[in-house]
Structure 1
């Protein structure tokens, strides 16, 4: 991942967090091994690692003066496995993340960052994040229940993220769409059908773009304006997913295909996206 910024770039490190900042933007990362924690008082090692990593992240943003958390990328091992206390690991992560937001005095609904959470085979909890000196605009998807309002069926604590964020910074307007999948309302659709899941996911991306244009009338984006990353649970699904994506977006849209586990065990594909243009190019 590479971010380009005009002006002087400053490197920094505070504890486990490494970051670079320039002007209005700060990009950083933090890694924390679960082995640093023991299960205790109902909190799994992953829950504690998530709480600690996000706590470190928020302290850096407060110290450096970048309070607007815009976008977060979360990578955690074995995301769909059930281990400590009979709770799926993604749900353990959500508990720790929400605890850290609350401890830092951050809101838990509404003005929360765009995000994704993907599963990797092994390694530490790894988090990358983009923050700004100004607050982004959080955007939801009318076709979906906001993740922070999910019912208790999806875990003891709801996921703390918005469907997208829109940021005006240094003459640019940047749109970040969270990891998006075949979910309508709060339910997964088309279980076992990767092509249908991909089509539903693209419908959700379009819904986010439509909502962005509604809440910020100058911010008009089409699917063809996006730069996408598609995460596939099974590598052998690549031809089917690519065929649906190219039929809908065309071959000119940059799409990177990666193998990763998606946050729900019944989901086979997830797509995240971003777009941007100079503010002066916006159409009235």
Structure 2
């Protein structure tokens, strides 16, 4: 039941696809037979061809749809996507709570209770709406759904990212399974779920990273990581310094993951990356910093808004390796 990560400019061939992210614009609106999350953010420095990132499995998965979630399952692993449009009667807080509540009901029905990784995208993430920034509205709805499903909001929470795109619905993709993820925190940072009240009425519900153990494999999911030390944004206005600080944070997470993993360390060069850049003009500076540290790693650059308006770049990463039987 091995998971295989496919990353290519070429479309995924029909077959044993658990789920896919289509990264970049344009997207023609066509949907394949499997769950697809269209990431409505421009690719930077890579032309106009969208990029396909998919999770493949080694035997035919089961497929279904539940409360607007398109999902596929193979064995004890499940990938799903839900998108909820906002409107006059459904704001971002309500959409967030609804998406996560439906997600938890699906996991309970499938007997796969453990969230491993989530990818959240929403329009106008830094915009104030009805007196509260939209990212904070998202966090409020997400936390309410976790609590409504009797799930922890501190400690054992999944890896995740939350980015702003130009337009479109709230879009949530997720990987889940039967085995719990091992949360990984960063000793250089306050855990996001323990942020003080100045960052909103509810703290973000995610871990800095998660180690996951499907049969015969070890996966490391590193959440969206930015230029934050403690709980404060640093290097304001300096995108190069923010990129370096973000990579320093990822290195700290890797060191903590090594302490928790029985299999040894992942290195920076072992990972694949998505780098979200607020201003397209900053691509050269960010790419230069990345090249100095992870020149050989697969890296996608996208234009997207980070969850704090003063942050100019955010980096997420993941690694996968085979685990030999003892």
Give the TM bin, normalised by the shorter chain.
Answer: over 0.9
* Aligned counterpart for 2:317 among listed residues 273, 277, 283: 273
Give the whole-Å Cα distance in 2 for the aligned partners of 1:55 and 1:36: 21
Partner in structure 1 of residue 60 of structure 2 = 8
Whether 1:161 and 2:213 are equivalent positions in the alignment is no
1:172 maps onto 2:224 in alignment: no
Contact 1:37 1:49 in 2 (8 A): no
TM-score in terms of structure 1 length:
0.94
Aligned residue for 1:280, secondary structure, equals coil
- How big is the shift at 1:281? 8.6
Structure-1 residue corresponding to 2:100: 54
Q: Would you say 1:73 and 2:73 are equivalent positions? A: no
Q: Does 1:258 align with 2:310?
A: no
Q: Is the 8 A contact 1:7 1:23 kept in 2?
A: no
Paired residues of 2:216 and 2:325 also in contact (CA < 8 A): no
2:269, 2:294 within 8 Å by CA — same for their partners in 1?
Answer: yes
Q: Deviations over 1:159-209 (max 9, x none)?
A: 000000100102110000000000000000001000000000000000000
Give, in angstroms, the shift of residue 57 of structure 1. 0.5
Kindly state the Cα deviation for residue 25 of structure 1 after the two structures are TM-superposed: 1.1
Residue matched to 2:154: 109
Return the alpha-carbon distance in structure 1 between the equivalents of residues 264 and 201 of structure 2: 36
Q: Is the aligned partner of 1:193 residue 2:245?
A: no
Corresponding residue pairs, total: 274
Partner of 2:129: 83
Q: How far has the Cα of 1:36 moved from its partner?
A: 6.4
CA displacement 1:132-166 (0-9 Å, x = unmatched): 11111011000000000000000000000000010
Q: More helix by proportion, 1 or 2?
A: 1
- Cα separation, 1, equivalents of 2:153 and 2:124: 25
* Aligned-partner SS, 2:72: strand
Q: Which runs of 5+ in 2 are unaligned?
A: 1-20, 22-53
The match for 1:240 among 281, 285, 293 is 285
Which of these residues, 240, 252, 257, is aligned with residue 207 of structure 1?
Answer: 252
Question: Which ranges in structure 1 are unaligned for 5 or more consecutive residues?
Answer: 39-44
Q: Which residue of 2 aligns with 1:41?
A: none
